[in-house]
Amino acid sequence: MKISDVRAAVSAFPTPEPKADGTLERTATTAVTVEVTAGDVTGLGWTYSGAPAATLVRGKLAGAIVGNDPDDVASCFAAMRRACRNLGGKGLVMQAISAVDIALWDLKARAHGMSLGALLGAVRDRVPVYGSGGFTTMSDDQLRAQVAGWRDLGCTAMKIKIAESWGRRVERDLQRVRLLRELAGDGVELMVDANGGYSRGQAHRVGAALDELGVTWYEEPVSSDDVQGLAVVRDATRCDVTAGEYASDVYDAEALCTAVDCLQLDVTRCGGYTGFLRGAAVAAAHNLEVSGHCAPALHAPVAAAVENLRHIEYFADHARLEPLLADGVPPVVDGGIVPNSSPGHGLALREHAQQWEA
Ligand SMILES: [Mg+2]
């Protein structure tokens, strides 16, 4: 069986209202979906990126893998990376490759009538999730409703955004962390994400306040491009400093592992399931756990196969739109996701997903 067709579509999902984290405002989330066909079997993958990623999939990436054996995922991955050498292997290019890689793994598992969990080899039946959202643009009442939703799902860890307006509203940041404690209750782990909005010194000072408040997870206190800065903050705070959502390959993973307490990886950015498994192996060699960033339905099967996994992120925006994009999104029950046991990842593009096409 040979790969015969690679298709890509762009879907834009408007957010219910404009929202912001510490360093970015947005009004829509854009998904680039990829379908790869061999024989009469089609695999599905996607990434949260922009229209140029779809152009890349239809052009260079399709050119690199059409005619290949879909069982040889590693060979397809290598061919895609080689084809993009002169475009650079990171960022948008790797987002496009990630979506194709996920579709290839899904295709392979479906072609063999296996779930991805069976193909990858699971180490757990259930993948723990943490509730994530808490945008800086939300009112206290909106946060209250969101936290109540996470509690209903059995989440024992919850994360909100801080570093509002590039770190210019630290008092409000800390006030919202206090509110999160009040709403979540004592038994819940408090997590925050600064999205790289603080300077090193500021991140250090905010970290000391977060330690006082019992926060256990301090994500991107400074830009993840400032690896040395992350290490400085990590060494100065009790809470775990984390980063990795922009990691594209094992070199990025290796660099970050010298500076974080938990490595984040995103299957839609780090090279799909191939990249996630490789990044997790790098983290294991540093005695670190990994955490899946966003896209919970896509992470579930590979997260079940990674021994040094801490949890995956049940990100409010993606939890909302994954069921609009695909049928078969596994639910969160008792704070975890049981990956689908149907062939592949068990997700299928919805008939009316086209209504979102951009
Ligand atoms: Mg983040």
Walking along the chain (358 residues) 10 residues at a time, the average pLDDT comes out as 97 90 93 98 97 98 98 98 97 98 98 97 98 96 98 98 97 98 96 98 98 98 98 98 98 98 98 98 98 98 98 95 96 98 97 76
Domain that holds residue 83: 3-113+351-356
Please tell me whether residues 264 and 343 are part of one structural domain.
Answer: yes
- 245 CA from centroid of ligand 1 (Å): 6
Provide the CATH number for the domain around residue 37. 3.30.390.10
Residues 331 and 203 both lie in one domain? yes
Both 161 and 106 in one domain: the answer is no
312 shares a domain with 178: yes
Name residues with Cβ closer than 5 Å to ligand 1, which is an ion.
193, 245
Q: How far is the CA of 194 from the centre of ligand 1 (A)?
A: 7
Dist. CA 195 → ligand 1 center (Å): 5
Q: Where are the alpha helices (DSSP H) in 57-162?
A: 62-65, 73-83, 91-111, 116-120, 140-152
Tell me: do 108 and 124 sit in the same domain: no
If asked whether residues 269 and 160 sit together in one domain, one would say: yes
Cα 221 to ligand 1 centroid, rounded to whole Å: 10
| Domain total in the chain | 2
CA of 193 from ligand 1 middle (Å) equals 6
* pLDDT score at 67: 98
**102 and 75 together in one domain:** yes
Mark whether 264 and 220 lie in a shared domain: yes
Distance 246 CA to ligand 1 centre (A): 9
Q: What separation in angstroms does the CA of 65 have from each of 5, 10, 79, 99? A: 9, 21, 7, 13
| E strand or H helix at 18 | strand 3-20
**Looking at the structure, do residues 19 and 144 belong to the same domain, yes or no?**
no
Residues near 195 by beta carbon (within 8 Å), at least 6 away in sequence:
21, 22, 23, 24, 161, 163, 219, 220
CB 194 within 8 A of CB 177: no
**pLDDT for the residue numbered 237:** 98
CA 142 distance to own-chain centroid: 23
Give the pLDDT confidence score for residue 351 in this predicted structure. 80
Looking at residue 358, its pLDDT comes to 77
What is the 264 CA–ligand 1 centroid distance (Å)? 9
C-alpha 240 to ligand 1 mean position (Å): 14
- Per-residue model confidence (pLDDT) at position 235: 97
Distance between Cα 274 and ligand 1 center (Å): 21
Give buried/exposed letters for 79-104 (b at 16+ CB in 10 A, else e): bbbebbeeeebbebbbbbbbbbbbbb
Please report the pLDDT score of residue 200 as a whole number. 97
Q: Are residues 56 and 177 in the same domain?
A: no
What CATH code is carried by the domain that includes residue 215? 3.20.20.120
- On whether both 173 and 194 belong to a single domain, the answer is yes
Other beta carbons within 10 Å of 241: 25
User: Are 155 and 198 within one domain?
Assistant: yes
Ligand 1 geometric centre to CA of 35 (Å): 27
Distance 69 CA to ligand 1 centre (A): 36
Query: How many whole angstroms from 33 Cα to the centroid of ligand 1?
Result: 22
